[in-house]
Structure 1
Amino acid sequence: MTGAKPFSQFERMIAWRYLRSKRAEGGVSVMTWISLIGIALAVFALIATLAVRSGFRTEFVGTILGANAHATLYTGPRTDADGVMRTGFGDFEQALAELRETPGVSRVAGIVKGQVLASANGRNLGVQVFGETLADLKTLPLISEPEQSWGALDDIGNGVAIGSGVARELSLRVGDAITLTSPDGVQTAFGTAPRVIAYDVAYVFQVGRYDIDSTRVYMPRGEAQSYFNQEGRIDEFEIMVDTPELVNDLAPMLLASAPDRALIWTWFDANGGFLRALQMEDNIMFVILGVLVLIATMNIVSGLIMLVKNKGRDIGILRTMGLTEASVLRVFFMCGSAIGVLGTIIGVTMGCLFVIYIDPIFGLINYIAGGGVWDPSVRMLSDLPAELRWQDVTKAVSLSLGLSFGITYFPARRAARMNPVEALRYE
């Protein structure tokens, strides 16, 4: 046995015998099961939490980028040659063409926007109106291909498109009329009269994000220019790029192609703080759940210490038969690491299955709780998102196995250094 190879069949046989031995035989099967279940639950919780956090980030970024511009070019108010206060850009067609030719740009649209009061069926709601051409709307991912839709986007020339939240708040369906009231209307001798116009609802969309579904109204750009007194002008250039994460690198080229005095506002400027907060929460959550995995693996230490104490006589006999310290260390190391590996496998399996079937599981929880568990108005999403990424699974597995192997070494080393004479003195 002195010349036996590391982790030989003989060592594996002894480790397996100790793992499955009953308490009456000097084993610690109860502690083994507690350690196994603890590690499995900790790894399951870690994978499930990381998957949900990844799903939240992907869903939020997807809805942000799918219905909002990656970058917006705008300008402040200024007085024109006639002494009239103007906003936005005139003669914008050339700038549109130049921006579309900018490398890395996938979409450019000239839009007119404003905030108005929407009314229908005796109810009122503040909404944000976006005026875009039909061709531009068809290239806006979450509007042309939303989660759910009613009506046809092609019919927007005869009316407006509204979010599902707007439709719900005002009790509207496709074909109903919605009245929009703007404070900046017609100039009269007595001041500015509000502009009140009724439009037919041609299209209702649901993108899955509450703050978009409950505030957005789209209308043809020509109608929006007339409605907001912006004939021949636009308020902003709405820009999307091939790689949203690199939009700040394209900012100088976009400004170079834009009209004079243009300013840029990127999606990082609008949502950067939120995304950084998500990343910080992800790191904190990983640390907290990592502590749970550490606590679960600590049960391996207590179980191995009890096993070493109960198997002291066996260790003494094996040492007198020629088993080396290294062999004893490996035997007990395999005992502890086997618990960690098996618990990790079970935890990974449970976590992956939970993420894959999260919708029916959460639906059952919502049914048992009587509904109302998930409020889109608070969480901004219509469903609980979850994304299973191999990076998250790898982190969970590495943490669990690393802690299991590291913690197992110390009681195994104690068993290896046990003096066989002392172990057999009272036998």
Structure 2
Amino acid sequence: MFRRFEWMIAWRYLRAKRSEGGISVMTWISLVGIALAVFALIATLAVRSGFRYEFVDTIIGANPHVSVLAYGEVLPNGALTRTMANYDEVAAAVAQVDGVERAVPVVSGQVMATANGRNTGVQVVGMRGEDLAQVPRIAEPEEARGSLADYQQGIAIGTGVARQLGVDVGDSIRLISPDGVRTAFGTSPRIKAYPVVFVFQVGRWDIDSTRVYMPFEEAQLYFNRTGVADEVQVAVDDPERVDFYGPALIQAAGEGAYLWTWQDSSGAFLRALTMEDNIMFVILSILVLIATLNITSGLVMLVKNKGRDIGILRTMGLTEGTILRVFFLCGASIGVIGTLIGVALGCLFAIYIDQIFDLVNYIAGGGVWDPQFRHISQLPARLEWDDVLTAVALSLTLSFVVTIFPARRAARMNPVEALRYE
């Protein structure tokens, strides 16, 4: 498409002489502008993908993909109970559904935890030891102390709970439930001490600071759930398509059951991320457009400065198409080189983002990234090839489009007018 001498002329024009320093400066400004714009776009897309991946991974890594719950029934005394008496049968039936990895019965409740004169509210999840060992973020946490092998002799708590109560593996904490022991004078709070045998960190603040795991049978006794469970927690092969499994799960669970998915409980986070992603992409696309417009400015100056050369080349027999391709190569080369530099910088930023933010955090004196407010322990970045290709396609398309106008202007220049005063 482009002949060799066209590349040669375009390269000579990009290498401006010292007397034409303005053209050289505009070339460098255009190059740096495009590189920074593409870098910012790729870095933002990488952080966006990282946020979504980490949110989803921590949510489904420590929480069920689907919870099978009972609508409940009214007891003879008028109280409403939502527990399941046939939880093992329901779990076994649900586990047979295609795409289901596991289905486990669970007892849960919210209580007050106290130790060393400190108090905090926690969510207690009663689960069998073999079932807890299959929860991905608990079996392979970011950090862990103690051993899950001792789970039957105590409880497992998040690092946030351990920090708030000032306890570690081997210490004991007391759990206080208002719905405790039933006596002739009413219900008195249940207070019981449990040794801490395992401390985990899943990387999500609202889980690490509230979650406590207790053996299933002990949780049944503690919460007065003897012979029943609160729900059956289900994990599926493809959590992103969790709604696809809904009809089969409802049919397997039987009448009187309904489903609550991880998307129902955390959908607001994902919708907020999607909305922010779209807005940031539009804003940064405008930034790339502004950067590519510098190419137009530089080429307009180049065409004006090279008017005499264009007239001579036209009189030598070069066609309008040849002149257009020469100046198109000038602008497109800036766009391509700037895009490649931006891609390299963006990929390096995504790969070494932890080290970069550690340095920024050190310079700023801390506080740049607070997991208490963002629910994730570290700033995530996930380099997706689709995001890189999107940034490259956007930058190159804009670079090529904005180059056409000044290149056409050069091609349509009248050689007689260009050489009139020469």
Which TM bucket (shorter chain)? over 0.9
Q: 1:148 corresponds to which residue?
A: 143
Choose from 393, 401, 411 the match for 2:406: 411
Q: 1:28 corresponds to which residue?
A: 23
Matching residue's letter, 2:180: G
Q: Does 2:333 correspond to 1:338?
A: yes
Q: Does 2:324 correspond to 1:329?
A: yes
Q: 2:348 corresponds to which residue?
A: 353
Q: 1:8 to 1:153 in 2, by over 3 A?
A: same
Distance in 2 between the 1:290 and 1:422 partners?
A: 39
Q: 1:310 to 1:118 in 2, by over 3 A?
A: same
Deviations 1:4-25 (A, max 9, x none): xx41111111101100012514
Distance in 2 between the 1:155 and 1:332 partners?
A: 73
Q: 2:253 corresponds to which residue?
A: 258
Q: Choose 279-288 or 176-185, whichever is displaced more.
A: 279-288
Q: Does 2:143 correspond to 1:164?
A: no
Q: 1:3 corresponds to which residue?
A: none
Shift in Å, 1:189: 2.4
In structure 2, list runs of 5 or more residues that go unmatched. none
Distance in 2 between the 1:91 and 1:65 partners?
A: 25
Give the length in aligned residue pairs.
422
Q: Does 2:237 correspond to 1:237?
A: no
Q: 1:263 is paired with a residue of what secondary structure?
A: strand
Deviations 1:135-158 (A, max 9, x none): 100111001110010000111111
Check whether the contact 1:112–1:221 (CA below 8 A) recurs between aligned residues: yes
Matching residue's letter, 1:356: I
Matching residue's letter, 1:251: G
Distance in 1 between the 2:267 and 2:204 partners?
A: 18
Shift in Å, 1:260: 2.9
Shift in Å, 1:190: 2.2
Matching residue's letter, 1:198: A
Deviations 1:105-141 (A, max 9, x none): 1010100000000001111100000000001001110
In structure 1, list runs of 5 or more residues that go unmatched. 1-5
Deviations 1:378-407 (A, max 9, x none): 011111100011000000000000000000
Matching residue's letter, 1:238: Q
Q: Choose 401-410 or 71-80, whichever is displaced more.
A: 71-80
Q: 1:221 to 1:40 in 2, by over 3 A?
A: same
Q: Does 2:98 correspond to 1:103?
A: yes
Distance in 2 between the 1:329 and 1:42 partners?
A: 27
Check whether the contact 1:26–1:307 (CA below 8 A) recurs between aligned residues: no
Q: 2:196 corresponds to which residue?
A: 201
Distance in 2 between the 1:25 and 1:161 partners?
A: 72
Check whether the contact 1:26–1:310 (CA below 8 A) recurs between aligned residues: no
Q: 2:132 corresponds to which residue?
A: 137
Q: 1:330 is paired with a residue of what secondary structure?
A: helix
Check whether the contact 2:90–2:232 (CA below 8 A) recurs between aligned residues: no
Q: 2:317 is paired with a residue of what secondary structure?
A: coil
Q: 1:73 corresponds to which residue?
A: 68
Check whether the contact 2:174–2:193 (CA below 8 A) recurs between aligned residues: yes
Q: 2:177 corresponds to which residue?
A: 182
Distance in 2 between the 1:193 and 1:204 partners?
A: 30
Q: 2:130 is paired with a residue of what secondary structure?
A: helix
TM-score (norm 2): 0.98
Distance in 2 between the 1:43 and 1:85 partners?
A: 59
Q: 1:382 corresponds to which residue?
A: 377
Check whether the contact 1:72–1:237 (CA below 8 A) recurs between aligned residues: yes
Shift in Å, 1:77: 4.2
Distance in 2 between the 1:189 and 1:27 partners?
A: 94
Q: Choose 184-193 or 339-348, whichever is displaced more.
A: 184-193
Distance in 2 between the 1:68 and 1:339 partners?
A: 49
- Cα RMSD, aligned residues only: 1.3
Q: 2:226 is paired with a residue of what secondary structure?
A: coil
TM-score (norm 1): 0.97
Choose from 54, 58, 75 the match for 2:53: 58
Deviations 1:66-110 (A, max 9, x none): 001110011244233676643310022222211111111101010
Distance in 2 between the 1:130 and 1:235 partners?
A: 10
Distance in 1 between the 2:112 and 2:26 partners?
A: 66
Q: Percent identity?
A: 64
